Amino acid sequence: MIKFDFIDKIVLVTGSSRGIGKACAVRFAEAGAHVVIHFNKNHKAAEQVLKSLSANNHFLVKADLADAGQVKSLAEQVLNKYGRIDVLVNNAGVFEEFDVLSLSFDQWQQSWEKTIKTNLTGAANLSFLIAKKMKDKGGCRIVNVSSRGAFRGEPDAPAYGASKAGMNSFGQSFAKAFAKYNIYVYTIAPGFVATEMAENAMIDERADEIKNQSPLGRIASPEEIAQTILFLASPGSEYMTGCIVDMNGASYLRN
């Protein structure tokens, strides 16, 4: 395993009470970072993550990323405490799966708005606030957690697929907009990962089919995704700014 060095770096990981976010928080803390644990609803789980981290000046903050005011407050709280943010990992997201044609128009609107606001608008708002604050300091890195669903389509979760496709685009746009300020933006697009979000899909007859989508015959662990995120956030990856890194075990290939 690669040994990373984030000593005294300020790292904000959204949605870090579980899954990929939790794995990132643990790895960044092990590498010496001051980690901001963000959560929306699961305070108990977030506190458990905080307590599990190796000793350092960590911070716990609550915010609904679908609410622009709370996103602004989140950024302000972290910047007021530390004065800067060296790494932002836009990991938080919601996933709602359903038979599209069974929904009423009201249900469709509610699901679409919730998903887009949380997954895309919230991440874009937070990135804007932090990049604008960090443009005179430079060296900030933003890593977006997208999905292979942005490319292959999500017929039972169209809002999710659209939100991740939008995330890919805004990440590339930000990479161009902020490169002159030495702010680097990367996107990672995982396939299925062994997180709470994937639990429903992995407990029925679909489990083997999902695992066999990859020639490796399994899905990814959160720690594998975290490993790549820490690599992208490390010095030496600057020329990768604007990239979208597929990490789906060859379950979906594009060229």
- DSSP code at position 198: G
CA dihedral 230, 236, 237, 240 (to 10 degrees): 180
Q: What is the pLDDT of residue 23?
A: 98
The total number of residues shown for the chain amounts to 255
DSSP H helical segments within 3-142, as ranges? Answer: 19-30, 43-52, 68-82, 105-115, 122-134
Q: How far apart are CA 130 and CA 17, in angstroms?
A: 21
* Catalytic member of 160, 181, 184, 239: 160
Amino acid at 252: Y
Within 8 A by CB and 6+ apart from 176, the residues are: 242
Instruction: Give me the domains of the chain, ranges plus CATH numbers.
Output: 10-247 (3.40.50.720)
- Residue 144 phi, psi dihedral angles, 5° rounding: -95, 135
- pTM beyond 0.85, yes or no: yes
The label of the residue with tokens 């005011």 reads: 69
> 65, 90, 60, 95: which is closest to 78 by C-alpha?
60
Residue 54: its pLDDT value, please?
Answer: 82
CB-CB contact of 223 with 79 (8 Å): no
Provide the CA 229 distance to its chain's centre, in angstroms: 9
C-alpha closest to that of 130 among 189, 174, 186: 174
CB within 8 Å of 81: residues ≥ 6 apart: 59
181 catalytic, yes or no? no
- The helix or strand, by DSSP H or E, that contains position 98, with its residue range, turns out to be none
In whole angstroms, give the CA distance from residue 37 to residue 43. 10
Mean pLDDT by 10 residues, the chain (255 residues): 90 97 97 97 96 91 98 98 97 94 96 98 98 92 98 95 98 98 98 80 77 95 97 97 98 92
Q: What is the pLDDT of residue 162?
A: 98
